[in-house]
C-alpha cells in the first residue's frame, strides 16, 4: 500500500449496549478507491462519522493524513471533501451563496471548475437549494466537493435515490477526480454495479465486524458458485468446506464457496452430483451470497478474522 491517507486501528463504537462497530482496523493508501460495504446497520456511516471527527469512538483510533480524527485541524479538513448521505444542504441558500460559503473554508477552491460543473449539469447558480430535485442536490454536492480539489473524498451512499442517468453523470465526476494523480476516495454504497465501476478495494462489514478487506478483483475471484445437478433428491451439502451459501431446488443446487481448493473440489465430487459446473459471479452476486450465508466467520484480508 502507498503512504496511508486513512488509518484505523481497533475502532469500536457502542450506542448504549449495542455495538455499532466492533474492533475494526484498516488503512487506505494514497490513490486508492476504497468501498466500504455491508447490509443496513452494519456500521458504515458510523465509521465514516468517526473518521471525520463527527463522532467519538468508544475505543480505538482513526487518523487522516497522520492527524487523529478527533483533533483534525482546519488545514487537514481543507484537504477533505465530504458527501453525506442524503446530500444535506442549506435549503434557504442559493447555489452561488453556498459556493461562496464553501470557498471560504477551502484554500484550494477552484471557482472556474465549479462553474464548469454548473454548466455541465445545466444548473444556474441563482437557483435556491430548496427548489432543487434530489438528483440536482446530488449534483451540487458533488460539484462543491470536487471544486475544493480534495486529496481525500469521503462519500456516504452518494447515489442513493438517484435515477440511472443522474447516477452515471455523478460517477463520471468521481472517475474524473480519481483520474487525477494522488486522489483518494472512501465511499459506501448499496448499488454494487457502481462499486464495480470505480472501486479498487472493498471492505465488507457484517454485524458491526469487518469480515473482508481485499482488492475488488480478489474478492470476486475468491468467491466461487457451483451449479450441481442430481438424479434424485439433493443431499444437505453441509459438509462442503468453506461453504457460505446454498440454494437447494428439486433436483439441483447452487453452492457458493470462499476460496475453494482441492478439499472443496473433492467434497463437491462426493455429493453424488451428476453434473457440477462453475458459474460466473458478479460483484453483486458475490456480495449477496457472502453477506447472507451462514458461515460468516470465513474472512478475506490481513486485517480481518
The grid cell for 299 is 474472512
Q: Which structural domain, as residue segments, surrounds residue 243? A: 220-292
Output the pLDDT for position 302: 56
Output the pLDDT for position 45: 92
Domain endpoint, select from 207, 234, 249: 207
Contact (CB, 8 A) for 270 and 225: no
Do residues 263 and 121 both lie within one domain? no
Average pLDDT over the chain, rounded to an integer: 86
Q: Domain with 199 in it: what CATH number?
A: 3.40.50.300
Main-chain phi, psi angles of 10, to 5 degrees:
60, 30
Total count of domains within the chain: 2
Residues 68-83 pLDDT 10s: 999 999 999 989 988 8
Can you give the pTM of this predicted structure?
A: 0.85
Output the pLDDT for position 51: 96
Output the pLDDT for position 89: 80
Output the pLDDT for position 204: 93
Domain endpoint, select from 184, 207, 230: 207
Do residues 126 and 203 both lie within one domain? yes
Do residues 16 and 89 both lie within one domain? yes
The grid cell for 2 is 502507498
Q: Which of 33, 18, 19 is nearest to 171 (CA)?
A: 33
Task: Look at residue 298 and tell me if it is in a domain.
Answer: no
Task: Look at residue 213 and tell me if it is in a domain.
Answer: no
Do residues 233 and 262 both lie within one domain? yes
* Paired residues of 80 in beta bridges: 152
Q: Looking at residues 215-226, what average pLDDT do you find?
A: 90
Residue 94: is its pLDDT beyond 90?
yes
Domain endpoint, select from 182, 207, 232: 207
Task: Look at residue 21 and tell me if it is in a domain.
Answer: yes
Do residues 78 and 115 both lie within one domain? yes
Task: Look at residue 301 and tell me if it is in a domain.
Answer: no
Residues 229-282 pLDDT 10s: 998 888 888 778 888 888 888 899 998 988 888 888 888 888 888 988 998 888
Residues 186-208 pLDDT 10s: 999 888 888 888 899 999 999 89
Task: Look at residue 169 and tell me if it is in a domain.
Answer: yes
Output the pLDDT for position 56: 95
In the block, cell 478495494 appears at 201
Do residues 61 and 199 both lie within one domain? yes
Task: Look at residue 215 and tell me if it is in a domain.
Answer: no
CA distance 33 to 20: 24
Task: Look at residue 305 and tell me if it is in a domain.
Answer: no
> What beta strand segments (E) does 16-170 contain?
18-29, 33-37, 59-64, 67-68, 80-83, 152-156
Residue 296: is its pLDDT beyond 80?
no
Do residues 225 and 87 both lie within one domain? no
Residues 112-138 pLDDT 10s: 989 988 988 889 999 999 898 888 888
Q: Looking at residues 85-101, what average pLDDT do you find?
A: 84
Q: Domain with 272 in it: what CATH number?
A: 3.30.70
Q: Is 279 exposed, middle or buried (0-12, 13-18, 19+ CB in 10 A)?
A: exposed
Output the pLDDT for position 67: 95
CB atoms within 10 A of CB 248: 16
Residues 132-158 pLDDT 10s: 888 888 888 888 888 888 899 999 887
CB atoms within 10 A of CB 132: 18
Residues 32-48 pLDDT 10s: 999 999 988 899 999 99
Do residues 150 and 67 both lie within one domain? yes
CA distance 247 to 264: 17
Do residues 113 and 58 both lie within one domain? yes
Do residues 162 and 37 both lie within one domain? yes
In this structure, of 3-12, 153-162, 279-288, the range with the lowest mean pLDDT score is 153-162
In this structure, of 39-53, 85-99, 276-290, the range with the lowest mean pLDDT score is 85-99
Amino acid at each position: 500500500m502507498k503512504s496511508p491517507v486513512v488509518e484505523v486501528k481497533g475502532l469500536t463504537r457502542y450506542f448504549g449496549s449495542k455495538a455499532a462497530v466492533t474492533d475494526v482496523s484498516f488503512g487506505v493508501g494514497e490513490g486508492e478507491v476504497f468501498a466500504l460495504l455491508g447490509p443496513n446497520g452494519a456500521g458504515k456511516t458510523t465509521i465514516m462519522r468517526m473518521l471525520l471527527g463527527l463522532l467519538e469512538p468508544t475505543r480505538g483510533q482513526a487518523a487522516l493524513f497522520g492527524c487523529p480524527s478527533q483533533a483534525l485541524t482546519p488545514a487537514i479538513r481543507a484537504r477533505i471533501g465530504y458527501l453525506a448521505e442524503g446530500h444535506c444542504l442549506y435549503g434557504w441558500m442559493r447555489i452561488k451563496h453556498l459556493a461562496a460559503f464553501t470557498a471560504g473554508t477551502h484554500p484550494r477552491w477552484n471557482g472556474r471548475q465549479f462553474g464548469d460543473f454548473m454548466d455541465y449539469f445545466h444548473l444556474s447558480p441563482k437557483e435556491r437549494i430548496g427548489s432543487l430535485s434530489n438528483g440536482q442536490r446530488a449534483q451540487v454536492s458533488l460539484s462543491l466537493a470536487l471544486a475544493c480539489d480534495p486529496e481525500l473524498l469521503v462519500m456516504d451512499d452518494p447515489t442513493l435515490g438517484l435515477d440511472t442517468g443522474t447516477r452515471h453523470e455523478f460517477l463520471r465526476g468521481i472517475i474524473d477526480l480519481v483520474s487525477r494523480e494522488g486522489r483518494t476516495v472512501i465511499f459506501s454504497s448499496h448499488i454494487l454495479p457502481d462499486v464495480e465501476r470505480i472501486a479498487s478495494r472493498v471492505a465488507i462489514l457484517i454485524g458491526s465486524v469487518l469480515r473482508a478487506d481485499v482488492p475488488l478483483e480478489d474478492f470476486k475471484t475468491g468467491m466461487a458458485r457451483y451449479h450441481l445437478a442430481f438424479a434424485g433428491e439433493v443431499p444437505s451439502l453441509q459438509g462442503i468446506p468453506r461453504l457460505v451459501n446454498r440454494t437447494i431446488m428439486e433436483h439441483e443446487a447452487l453452492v457458493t464457496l470462499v476460496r475453494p481448493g482441492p478439499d472443496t473440489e473433492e467434497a463437491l465430487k462426493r455429493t453424488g452430483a451428476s453434473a457440477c459446473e462453475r458459474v460466473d459471479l458478479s460483484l453483486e452476486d458475490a456480495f449477496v451470497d457472502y453477506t447472507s450465508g451462514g458461515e460468516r466467520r470465513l474472512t478475506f484480508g490481513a486485517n480481518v478474522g
